[in-house]
Amino acid sequence: MHGVEWEQWKDIPADELLNTLRKSYGFKAIGQASYADALWAQEGCGLYLFHDKEWQPWYLGKVASRSFLERISGHMDTHVHKGGGHTGWFNTFHQRWSEYLGQEDEVAKCSYLACAGLMILRMPTGKKAEIARAEKYLMHVLSPKLNRKTQITKRSKFAPLLEHGSSASCELITSF
């Protein structure tokens, strides 16, 4: 798990973001994260990205009011309650990974712990609208495999983001 402060990534053009981060940080599987990584990760707001070893994006999400640790661990919640159902309300990443690769729950969990990396992209706190715009814009540009509705249409409230093109930085996108 890696984390990047806003000042370090805000000016990188969106279509160059993953290549730039890949050169600077390399790959580290989620399963290699330490307790110290998890404690550090809970601070702040912004975006998080699950990616593969080649830095192809799997899933992009945002944290605007919860901690990163709480939100990210919720994606991987596979516990079973009475009645045998999985009740992790926010386990989107786990569910979509499992469906996309056709893997059973336990196989999926072992698979992404070894094969998926996690990048935390911090943003200024208290700016929920800007975080949402950055998330939508990066979803459109990066088109992560497990996100749904990643493309911005002309009828979307995010349509003005299209005026900037895929080489705009997130700072430009969040400032309008």
Tens of pLDDT, residue by residue over 69-99, are: 666 666 665 555 544 445 454 567 777 888 8
Tens of pLDDT, residue by residue over 127-174, are: 889 999 999 999 999 999 888 877 777 777 777 777 777 777 777 777
Helix (H) or strand (E) holding 40: helix 35-41
Q: What are the Cα distances from residue 94, in Å, to 19, 34, 53, 60, 75? A: 25, 20, 18, 13, 6
User: Is the full-model pTM beyond 0.75?
Assistant: yes
Q: Comparing 43 with 25, which gets the higher pLDDT?
A: 25
Whether residue 125 has pLDDT greater than 60: yes
- Indicate the pLDDT class of residue 60, thresholds 50, 70 and 90: very high
Q: Is 93 helix (H, G, I), strand (E, B) or coil?
A: helix
Q: Return the CATH architecture of domain 2-174.
A: 3-Layer(aba) Sandwich (3.40)
Res 74: pLDDT: 60
Res 104: pLDDT: 80
Q: What is the DSSP letter of 159?
A: G
Of 50-59, 97-106, 122-131, the one with minimum mean pLDDT is 97-106
Res 21: pLDDT: 93
- Angle at which helices 17-25 and 128-142 cross, to 10°: 90
Burial of residue 156 (CB within 10 Å: 0-12, 13-18, 19+) is middle
Res 84: pLDDT: 45
Of 5-9, 27-31, 55-59, 63-67, the one with minimum mean pLDDT is 63-67
- Indicate the pLDDT class of residue 34, thresholds 50, 70 and 90: confident
